[in-house]
Amino acid sequence: MPAAPAIYPASIAVLPFVNNSPDPENEYFSDGVSEEIINALAKVRGLKVIARTSSFAYKNKAIDVRDIGQQLQVANILEGSVRRAGRKVRIAAQLVSARDGVQLWARRFDRELKDIFELQDEISLLIADQIRAQYGHFELQDQLIRPPTKNIEAYDLYLKARYNHLRWDNPGITNAIAFYKECTLMAPNFALPYFGLAYCFAMRASFGGFHELLEVAQGYLEKGFSIDENAGPGHFSKATLAFWGRWSFAEGQAAYRQALAVNPGDTEAEEGLAELYTAVGDFEQALRHARHILSTNPLSANHHYTLANIHYLSGDYQEALACAATAMEVKPGFTHAVGLTQLCYILLGDWQGLERFLAQAECPEQPEACRAVYQLFHGQRLEGEVPAVQPSAQVDLFTWELYLKLYLGEEEEAMDLLEEKVGQRIGQYINFQNMPLLKPLHAHARFRALVEKVFPQGLLSKEPEPAARPRAALMEEAEWQPVLLQLKAVMKKDQLYQDASLSLRSLAERLGITANKLSWLLNEQLGQNFNEYVNTLRLQLFQELALKPGNAHLTLLGLAYESGFNSKTVFNEFFKKSVGLTPRAWVKKQQQE
């Protein structure tokens, strides 16, 4: 078997914080706190952060953090709880090693609700600091979360809207719209609710061809940008409106890129970009983006479906089947993956496979129409009457009616229907030029004209090649050399490492430099991260103390704590890694010698 991929050390999954509030209805608030911390950490370049969808897959599930770490391929897990009572909020958080379940850091915060943004920022920075100290240098901003509004009641309402929005069903979107609207009345200068409304109305327009909703969405988008022109959610909503609402590919591409420039970890925006490249037939770029988002969001059924759809539209039906199966493992009965699986069996000519799947699927997509399309596609005589295609209550994802007309030989009627649906810009018809079952229409003049109208030449700008960002030198030699001498002198004279609470930031303040510069100095000039550096000094002190006859009455663990270690596990592991022996075995060997 191939070796499991190495887990990137500077990586983390933020599990949904538990709602410990007296009111269970406050779950939207604990979810919102978790999502804000995820979004904040995702802004840190060099830190791999698992996206919300995959982290929230573990909500209300008692699963060992070591198993979660393996499933998500991360080294660290953040878990916690939120208790809200009146105007007070208490957040407890702990950072745990996904390798062995050992607690690396834990804190409890009691604050006023009005300080929620500062608290979320503080927790995010503390977590990033802990990971940097443990695994090596990356630069960290002074602030990761900026308050989007001063109106805490409006923010609370926004979290309710977002909670409903992320249900991704009609009742949820309806509730979200109501909460977003109420939020704009409460805080007219709060941009995020306007962007939420723009997104909701844009998607509703694309679902059902309600083009009047596009103007509603545009109005909310413009209002949001008049307040905050640099908001990532604004650019994402703009991209959604352009791409799914208007099929304006160049505008959508630019907006998706801008959303990712603001929030590089936004997997929804990158999925949208992958879908856009799929629609125009640039499968190479589509695959690159789809695979990338799965590295930080491996439990998103939508992402696996997006990858399956790319393979399907590019003609790789076996790979499409495998990806669709993964999507259905993540989300059983997922309509998108169910319908795509049926289409793959038709194109592979696997009648038995199709029948097995239709029998097993909880809600197959138009099974009678599907069987009929299979028979007609493979030149078989249709048994019985042409089945009626039942109206879909959801998005018009799969064009069974169009396929039936085409393979019954009604090409002009098929083109009439295709032109109608494309004119309404409905759902997955956006991929019509690459739909495998529409190949018989490719030579049709009306089809070619439709492709040229929707996808003109030179439609998109060239995708820039992903380039590795060179690690910048934060200090010139003339600056870092005296600081390094100062560091060694201070640590030798004052033995700061004996303080178990010593942190990268507190040591940097003592030296009069930024934490970013100290992290860079330790990593680049000494080849150690902060924890390795201070623990090496602690280990040396422990060895001195352990060999002094006057300390023979003290336990080795007591001497470790006196040296600055604050965890038995960390002490034992670091000692054995550095020396090759357990502390007791090393002491015994020294005494014998």
The pLDDT tens digits for 541-583 are 999 999 999 998 999 999 999 999 999 999 999 999 999 999 9
What is the rounded radius of gyration, in angstroms, for the C-alpha atoms of the chain? 29
The reply to whether 299 and 389 lie within a common domain is no
Mean pLDDT of 150-167: 95
Integer Cα distance of 36 and 150 in angstroms = 16
The reply to whether 341 and 401 lie within a common domain is no
How far CA 111 is from CA of 8, 26, 262, in Å, comes to 34, 17, 29
The reply to whether 423 and 481 lie within a common domain is no
Domain assignment present for residue 156? The answer is yes
Task: Please list the alpha-helical segments (H only) found in 500-566.
Answer: 504-511, 515-525, 530-546, 556-563
Mean pLDDT of 92-107: 94
535, 565 in Cβ contact below 8 A? yes
The length of the chain is 593
Mean pLDDT of 37-44: 96
Instruction: Answer whether residue 426 shows pLDDT above 60.
Output: yes
The reply to whether 483 and 574 lie within a common domain is yes
Domain assignment present for residue 376? The answer is yes
For residue 391, what are the domain limits?
Answer: 372-456
Domain assignment present for residue 468? The answer is no
Domain assignment present for residue 471? The answer is no
The reply to whether 41 and 103 lie within a common domain is yes
pLDDT at 396: 62
Mean pLDDT score across all residues of the chain:
94
Asked which of 122, 147, 172 is the last residue of a domain, the reply is 147
Q: Which of 237, 159, 160, 149 is nearest to 194 (CA)?
A: 237
Asked which of 314, 343, 365 is the last residue of a domain, the reply is 365
193, 184 in Cβ contact below 8 A? yes
Mean pLDDT of 246-258: 96
Structure confidence at residue 2 as a pLDDT band (50, 70, 90): very low
The reply to whether 128 and 21 lie within a common domain is yes
* Strand 76-85, strand 103-112: pairing: unpaired
140, 129 in Cβ contact below 8 A? yes
pLDDT at 457: 83
pLDDT at 492: 94
Instruction: Answer whether residue 167 shows pLDDT above 80.
Output: yes
pLDDT at 471: 67
529, 132 in Cβ contact below 8 A? yes
pLDDT at 459: 83
Number of domains, the chain? 5
pLDDT at 385: 87
* CATH (domain of 78): 3.40.50.10610
The reply to whether 377 and 411 lie within a common domain is yes
Q: Where is average pLDDT lowest: 91-100, 168-177, 234-243?
A: 168-177
Instruction: Answer whether residue 394 shows pLDDT above 60.
Output: no
The reply to whether 355 and 377 lie within a common domain is no
Instruction: Answer whether residue 4 shows pLDDT above 90.
Output: no
Structure confidence at residue 209 as a pLDDT band (50, 70, 90): low
530, 519 in Cβ contact below 8 A? yes
pLDDT at 3: 52
Domain assignment present for residue 463? The answer is no
Structure confidence at residue 393 as a pLDDT band (50, 70, 90): low
Domain assignment present for residue 69? The answer is yes
Mean pLDDT of 407-435: 94
pLDDT at 464: 75
Reported as a single tens digit per residue, the pLDDT across 445-483 is: 999 999 999 999 888 988 877 666 666 789 999 999 999
Mean pLDDT of 422-435: 92
The reply to whether 199 and 231 lie within a common domain is yes
* CATH (domain of 327): 1.25.40.10
What is the number of alpha carbons within 13 Å of residue 240 lying toward its C-beta? 26
Name 109's bridge partners: 91
Structure tokens at 258: 């801008």
With a pLDDT cut of 90, the percent of the chain lying above it is: 86
pLDDT at 548: 94
Instruction: Answer whether residue 432 shows pLDDT above 70.
Output: yes
* Strand, coil or helix: 63: coil
Instruction: Answer whether residue 208 shows pLDDT above 80.
Output: no
Continuous segment of H or E residues that includes residue 13: strand 11-14
Asked which of 325, 341, 365 is the last residue of a domain, the reply is 365
Structure tokens at 44: 């840190």
The reply to whether 29 and 128 lie within a common domain is yes
Structure tokens at 370: 């599907």
Structure tokens at 195: 């962007």
pLDDT at 205: 82
Domain assignment present for residue 467? The answer is no
The reply to whether 491 and 572 lie within a common domain is yes
560, 571 in Cβ contact below 8 A? yes
Integer Cα distance of 542 and 463 in angstroms = 55
Integer Cα distance of 113 and 469 in angstroms = 39
The reply to whether 276 and 245 lie within a common domain is no
Q: Say if residue 457 is exposed, middle or buried (CB neighbours under 10 Å; 0-12, 13-18, 19+).
A: exposed
